[in-house]
Amino acid sequence: MKPQTLLLDLIKRYPSLKPLRAPLEAGFHLLREGFQQSGKWLIAGNGGSASDADHIAGEWLKAFMIKQPPSDVPEELACHLQHALPAIPLANFTGLHTAFANDCDPKWTFAQLTYALGKQGDGLLAISTSGNSENILNAVRVARAKRMKVLGLTGRSGGALKALCDVCVCAPEDETYKIQELHLPIYHCWCRMIEGHFFGSDEHPKKQKKNEPSLRLAVRPKKRTR
């Protein structure tokens, strides 16, 4: 399905997102640009948003909806792999988080990881339902200093995060759990749009372009042994 079709389907299922059509589309383009430039996306969030960060990375590090084998490794390897896009959820570095919290200031742990892992051309997807989480804002400031792209995902007000992002999508709710309930279909839609851009569709597989990152596959059926 084309990106516009997927976006319209999202809005049809979640009418409250209709006013966000422009930033939702801009968010897709920002994500696409990062991957197209051979960059990666770092993803940061706290609590439920940390789980969302892990969820998003999981959709990019393996096949989401489109089943195709990768083309840049031998066939005997490709049949056991899936195409992938480079994404790193920052909440999962347990050793670093505990060490940095013990030695330094835990409010700067995401910022430290962004400094260590990010480079110009990469992106930071910053998730904060309030838009005011200090550790998220610190990571965003480091990302901007490193000339990384910044995409925000937050609640109605946008908080302080909104002004720091290249694109910020503010889910039209005020309570944390309601904001998170809208974040999930938003990032699922982005994941489908990104996968469709790089890998085509099930009906019409897209050939990989030169210099575009090679991504994910469908596991081929195993041959039956008797």
- Helix (H, G, I), strand (E, B), or coil: what is residue 149? strand
**pLDDT tens-digit series, residues 21-53:** 999 999 999 999 999 988 899 999 999 999 999
Map tokens 């609640």 to a residue: 155
The CA distance from 214 to 226, in Å, is 35
Structural domains present in the chain: 3-199 (3.40.50.10490)
Q: pLDDT value at position 36?
A: 93
Who has greater pLDDT, 87 or 68? 87
Q: pLDDT value at position 120?
A: 95
Query: Is the model's pLDDT at 220 over the cut of 60?
Result: no
- Cβ neighbours of residue 125 closer than 8 Å, sequence gap 6 or more: 31, 41, 42, 43, 44, 53, 56, 151, 153
Pairing of β 41-44 and β 149-154: unpaired
Identify which of 39, 44, 25 has the alpha carbon closest to the alpha carbon of residue 167: 25
**pLDDT tens-digit series, residues 46-59:** 999 999 999 999 99
The CA distance from 217 to 135, in Å, is 35
Q: pLDDT value at position 201?
A: 65
The CA distance from 128 to 137, in Å, is 9
Instruction: Give every strand in the sheet of 87-89, ordered side by side.
Output: 87-89, 41-44, 123-127, 149-154, 167-170
Output the average pLDDT for the chain.
Answer: 90
Identify which of 62, 48, 35, 4 has the alpha carbon closest to the alpha carbon of residue 153: 48
**pLDDT tens-digit series, residues 148-207:** 999 999 999 999 999 999 999 999 999 999 999 999 999 999 999 999 999 886 444 444
Cα→Cα distances 47→25, 102, 128, Å: 27, 20, 10
CA 197 to chain centre: 14
